[in-house]
Amino acid sequence: MKISDVVVSPDPFIIGKSGLKLTLLVELPSSLRGANVLEVSAMITSPTRRSMSFVALRLLVDELEPKRGNLTVPVELVWDGKDQYHQLVADGSYFYELQAKLMEDEGNGPRTKIVSRRVHGTLEALAYVGEVLPPLPPEPDIPEELEILREGESIEENGPVTEEGLKSSDDPVVPEEEALMDSTGVLQSEEAGGSGSEVESVEPGEKDEGTIPEMRETPMSEPLNEPMPELPTSEVEIPLAR
């Protein structure tokens, strides 16, 4: 029994894009010695033996359709490009080793009857890059003077912004009552003059033409605590009703 006509496709093999196919022919002997199972295997390893993959295919001899009249069986093995840890292998050169076995299986596990010679070969595996994007355009050269100006602008933008009518974080906190008084001494509060009204504060000693004079108390002409005079009584007696 021997292996012949080994073909590796595609060549080169692109990892992760498609599977690697190993097609070959197995010439069986005229006497099978009771074997009823054909096993064809491929061991794919890296040069350092750190990455290994094992692919095997078992066929029943009774179901085979031999060709060329001398029991030649076509076989196809497919490798997915993964190692023993089920991870995609790195790109580079790999070795493969092919072997065929005729085994007898009666229900207690297969037993090897005939083994072919091993066939060795090499294959190239390339990394799958995918869509190649165009390179980015080079960045323009900026003079040092413009870079210094940009740094100064960024510092000013990050600084505190103060405008008229707005308080910065450095201004002292003013109580509410003092904040309601402006520089002219006008109280801006609803309690002082209603909503939106302005009440002027009049200093003591200042007089305005529109002010109302104070009312003064006048002495009463007669004392209030004197007793009332008695009314005169008449001497006429009124007869009582019968």
| pLDDT at res. 191 | 47
| pLDDT at res. 227 | 61
What's the rounded Cα separation, in Å, for the pair 20 and 174? 82
| pLDDT at res. 192 | 45
| pLDDT at res. 218 | 54
| pLDDT at res. 127 | 84
What percent of the chain is predicted at pLDDT more than 70?
Answer: 50
Q: What is 141-189 written as a DSSP string?
A: P--HHHHHHHHHHHHHHHSPP--TT---TTSPP--HHHHHB-TT--B--
| pLDDT at res. 64 | 76
**pTM (two decimals):** 0.51
| pLDDT at res. 144 | 65
Mean pLDDT confidence for 232-242: 56
> Which 8-state DSSP code applies to residue 82?
B
| pLDDT at res. 16 | 86
pLDDT at 137 exceeding the cut of 80: no
- What are the pLDDT digits (tens) for 71-117? 889 999 999 999 999 999 999 999 999 999 999 988 888 899 999 99
| pLDDT at res. 199 | 45
Residue 22: band (very low, low, confident or very high) from pLDDT cuts 50, 70, 90: very high
Q: How far is CA 176 from the centre of its chain?
A: 46
| 20 and 76 Cβ atoms separated by less than 8 Å | no
For the record, the structure tokens of 197 come out as 């009204």
Mean pLDDT confidence for 157-170: 52
- What are the pLDDT digits (tens) for 171-225? 555 555 554 555 445 445 444 444 444 445 545 544 455 555 555 555 555 555 5
Q: Which fold has domain 2-126?
A: Immunoglobulin-like (2.60.40)
| pLDDT at res. 132 | 46
* H helix runs in the chain, sequence order: 144-158, 176-180, 190-193
| pLDDT at res. 122 | 94
- How far lies 98's CA from each of 149, 155, 183, 231, in Å? 71, 71, 102, 156
| pLDDT at res. 145 | 64
The domain locations on the chain are 2-126
